[in-house]
A and B are shown apart, each in its own frame.
Chain A
Amino acid sequence: MGHEECQAVNILEVNDLHTVFTTPRGVMRAVDGVALSLRAGETLGIVGESGSGKSVLGRTITGLIADNATTSVSGSVRIGGHDIHALTQKARRRLWGPEVAMVFQDPMTSLNPVKRVSTHLTEALRLHLGLGRKDAYERAIDLLRQVFIPDPTRRMTQYPHELSGGMRQRVVIAMALACDPKLLIADEPTTALDVTVQRQILDLLAALASERNMATILISHDLGAVEGRTDRVAVMYGGRIVETSDTARVFANPVHPYAEALLASIPRIGDAPHTVLRAIEGAPPNMLTLPTGCSFAPRCRFATDRCHEEQPELRELADKGTTHVGACHFPLLPVHQEVS
């Protein structure tokens, strides 16, 4: 299907994206000026606390969240050259599946309890690829095999409640892959699963992405999940990206105090017993009443008056000439660099 594909062009380009909800309690800027780009085969991790806007960002990128009476979306999202938010609902539907697909958080609720596994998988195949009943069935079994579900022929006839959590998430992934999407958005795909299963699912996603040269966004609050499996990572706070770079660089030298605090709060298995876990003081900001300055300022150890008044823009903070950017007036200096 991808004959018009062009190597140099990014699969996903997001520019100055804003998602604003008008709620009865006020205006909520869930996504506030986000820019992203992603090439084929590349994996981007989006991390942040609950309520930082990660999921809304993911859903706005797909176009599931679009302009309506209470939601306003501005900026642009281009997937494979199509400006998602400029399209009609009908045109957008044609992209869902072959261009962009999504894996949701809870496999308990992302499968319809009254539909068999086979129905879940074949519907999209028949709709988008125009396959016949029998071809779609064969293709669905093949998909189940690709996500390593044992005995796929039997699984096809089962209902979601007959499968385990990990198995269900595999079915959800198979559904997302059904039409060979160029971009896959995984919105906390492992939060609802057991720890042992989490790893299997994450590895499966990573393997499938590289096998298919698929651009992937992995949304997670689990930094461990993101660390080894993404090329780049973006840290979100209060609806904005506060730091982004290659994953290894961010994990080694966080420049934004929030990213640094987030990383410091991961418990390490090598820590001595009874090591006090580091937590970030305070609570995530109320998205309805974001402060005027840096939204992290109220919780930041280094905040000054300037931080409370002036919103920092994303700029190159650490090593010059790299893509390591952060939004902070007083970035932490990378350990290996000298103070000038």
Chain B
Amino acid sequence: MPSEKRGTRTPHRTRDLVIGAVLATAGLGLAVFGWSTSLLVLAGKAALVLAGLVLVHQGVSRVLQALRGRRTDLIFIVSVVWLVGLILLALLAPLLPLGEHSDVATTLLEPANMAPRLLTDHPLGTSSQGLDLLSRSLHGARTSLMISLMAVTIGTLVGGSIGVVAGYFRHGVDSVVGVFTNALLAVPPLILLIALSTVLDPSLRNMALALSLLTIPSMVRLARANTIAFAQREFVMAARLMGASRFRVMLRELVPNVILPVVSMAIVMISALIVAEASLSFLGLGIQQPDPTWGNMIAEGEGGAMEDYPHIVLVPGAFLFLTVFSFNLLGEKAQKRWDTRSAKL
């Protein structure tokens, strides 16, 4: 990173450090106060916490800028940390000393609907049946991430290869593929999923397959458009003139070029699929209780539970929100970085 070496530290380094630290602590104090105070209604608490977080962000950004001498995209770092942490915790969830996440029989003695208290056995509270919300959220992350990652992988592989083939051969193949993708795009996604769920039983594999259907058409289009653009470049003709077969041209010349925009699109799509999976589970069409997913956890807040115990909805909602937000940010970064059109290669 050459920009670091330039030594252009901000002229007001110490001042920035102090201001940043003050802002960060003030924000932290505000957030903690907002979280723990009992003097305010929920909306007031939320506003305080948010304001506190914004202050913390400002403060830490300043401190980082003063320390490293250049701007840092703090939100991006936080997103990456969140995703890495979440994925690690989700992977290790069965090994961690967490509360019970699905077996109601073992939680008869646990407090039900307990509000989050960070330093107790149930830091994020419990559900109406005394199940630990942290544990359920992490196990829910397993399902959510597994399903959406599988779906995106299937969609990218299938959609991407169909797109490359259609874009390279054009003519007959292309028109057939075009009809199918347009037909698939014409069906409203949620309706399609609901229709599929009446036929398929809601297992992890079936959910992934159903959701991958949503990603295939846009992947086909993206891969096809990029393939067409690259196939017109002369290096494809040069490769053919050196005796490369059509298959080799696709695999060695086109795919390495097309894969960058496709992968960055795939990252953005993960978040859309997480939401789609959550919607299905919320509607009761996805993974069934007692196995937790963020969608069916939010659904537990139905029927007045949310009014009395908002954390039952807020905890899985926050997980969902932060994860989707982070994947979107990551995908956008990737697109900026890998969009060959803007890179002018």
Contact = CB atoms under 8 A, between A and B. Distances in A.
Interface string A48-78: 0000000000010010100001000000000
B244 A123 contact: yes
Contacts of A96: 240-243
Contacts, number: 71
Interface string B235-247: 1011111111100
Contacts of A112: 235, 239, 253, 256-257
Interface string B216-242: 000000000000000001110111111
Nearest to A187: B234
Nearest to B256: A114
Given A113-B257, A114-B257, A115-B256, A105 B241 contact: no
A101 B241 contact: yes
A69 B171 CA distance: 9
A111 B235 contact: yes
B345 A110 contact: no
A104 B240 contact: no
Name which of B239, B242, B252, B345 has the most chain A CB atoms within 10 A of its CB.
B242
B10 interface: no
A133 interface: no
Given A93-B243, A123-B244, A128-B243, A175 B238 contact: yes
Interface in A148-196: 160-161, 172, 175, 178-179
B68 to A, nearest CB: 28
Name which of B235, B239, B241 has the most chain A CB atoms within 10 A of its CB.
B241
Given A112-B257, A113-B257, A93 B238 contact: no
Contact of B241 (A62, A69, A106, A160): A62
Given A112-B256, A114-B256, A105 B234 contact: yes
B106 interface: no
A241 interface: no
A101 B242 CA distance: 7
Contacts of B233: 109-110
A94 to B, nearest CB: 7
B257 A94 contact: no
Contacts of B242: 96-97, 101, 123-124, 127-128, 175, 178-179
A109 B241 contact: no
A124 B239 CA distance: 8
Contacts of B245: 93
Interface string A84-103: 00000000011011001110
B143 to A, nearest CB: 36
A182 to B, nearest CB: 14
A278 B257 CA distance: 45
B256 A104 contact: no
B145 to A, nearest CB: 29
Interface string B245-282: 10000001100110000000000000000000000000
A104 B243 contact: no
Interface of B: 171, 233-235, 237-245, 252-253, 256-257, 340, 345
29 contacts: A62-B241, A64-B240, A64-B241, A69-B171, A93-B245, A96-B243, A100-B241, A101-B242, A102-B237, A102-B241, A110-B233, A110-B234, A110-B237, A110-B238, A111-B235, A112-B239, A112-B256, A112-B257, A114-B256, A114-B257, A114-B345, A115-B253, A123-B239, A123-B242, A123-B252, A124-B242, A128-B243, A172-B238, A175-B242
* CB-CB nearest 8 A-B residue pairs: A113-B345, A110-B234, A124-B242, A104-B234, A109-B233, A114-B256, A112-B235, A93-B243
